[in-house]
Structure 1
């Protein structure tokens, strides 16, 4: 995975080439990611769903994160990122099931780990009063937690 090639960009989003995932995070190069937030409506209340990252993850183990997210490799387009939902949650969705909300730049710098992402952000509206049949990959996700949207906004 560290040798996985990612497309790299300047801060304006102009493609500059490719680099390994390890190099991207060591040098702080901008790269693309796919983010998908699951939202549910239950008894008139809206909830946002978070994944609990596996204790086996290299970065941010046992922490809450986007419902499903991941890097886009150098041979992938944004639409290919939907695979992350299947890989992490065991749920098969298509891009047509999602709502594209746009892209944002996100930057995390912790010691020698520099993560500069051009995040393509999507929302999946879970059909009302249903619960997805999550199947977690042991090395990816441990659980899903949901929090009522107004409560999360206050955090």
Structure 2
């Protein structure tokens, strides 16, 4: 049984907890951490997408964020994000490797496996630069069936046009695009200062 903190609109725990399944049945506000893994390959930015297991309680078989997970009661966003990376993908990183992109608050209702699913969450979004081939990731098979790299611009177009099965929000990809752009601008500035 997975126990989550009930949180306010900003993701701050209220002191009450709820079981994950019940939170999704009743639409109770809780927290998640989302980590997008990106790399530069042959001069192009690529993003790693995971394909969700067919057994998942929501969006089975759909392309999704590189790594994402609910935050257990008593844990904070960053430690949970790092733990989820290790569990889902076999990736070990320090918290400082994650670049904060912003926070999203969203809610949706759908039917999955014949049951109503009402998700209501506050998510912190992070970026992780990591150049690793898909076969080098150690996947948690009950969560993730496969991972693959997408050209970032192609990914944005396919999500916008719904040409792949996915559960990705354009708002989140736009946040990621902004963070990538800022990181590159900062990198170029630093390089120019060094080259004086």
Report the Cα distance in structure 1 between the residues aligned to 2:86 and 2:13, rounded to whole angstroms: 27
Specify the alignment match of 2:4 in structure 1.
6
Specify the alignment match of 1:113 in structure 2.
117
- TM-superposition CA deviations, 1:118-146 (whole Å, max 9, x none): 0011110124xx53620111211111122
Per the TM alignment, residue 153 of structure 1 is displaced from its structure 2 partner at its CA by: 2.4
Asked if structure 1 preserves the Cα contact closer than 8 Å seen for 2:11 and 2:31, the reply is: no
TM-score computed with the length of structure 2 as normaliser: 0.71
Q: How does 1:1-150 map to 2 (within 5 A)?
A: 3-16=1-14, 17-81=16-80, 82-111=82-111, 112-127=116-131, 130-131=132-133, 133-150=136-153
Report the Cα distance in structure 2 between the residues aligned to 1:35 and 1:12, rounded to whole angstroms: 16
Asked if structure 1 preserves the Cα contact closer than 8 Å seen for 2:10 and 2:122, the reply is: no
User: Equivalent residue of 1:108, what SS?
Assistant: strand
Report the Cα distance in structure 2 between the residues aligned to 1:94 and 1:12, rounded to whole angstroms: 24
Report the Cα distance in structure 1 between the residues aligned to 2:122 and 2:49, rounded to whole angstroms: 20
Whichever structure has more strand as a proportion of its residues is: 1
TM-score computed with the length of structure 1 as normaliser: 0.89
Segments of 5+ residues of structure 1 without an aligned counterpart are none
Per the TM alignment, residue 96 of structure 1 is displaced from its structure 2 partner at its CA by: 1.3
> What number of residue pairs does the alignment pair up?
151
- Whose Rg is larger? 2
Per the TM alignment, residue 9 of structure 1 is displaced from its structure 2 partner at its CA by: 2.0
Asked if structure 1 preserves the Cα contact closer than 8 Å seen for 2:58 and 2:117, the reply is: no
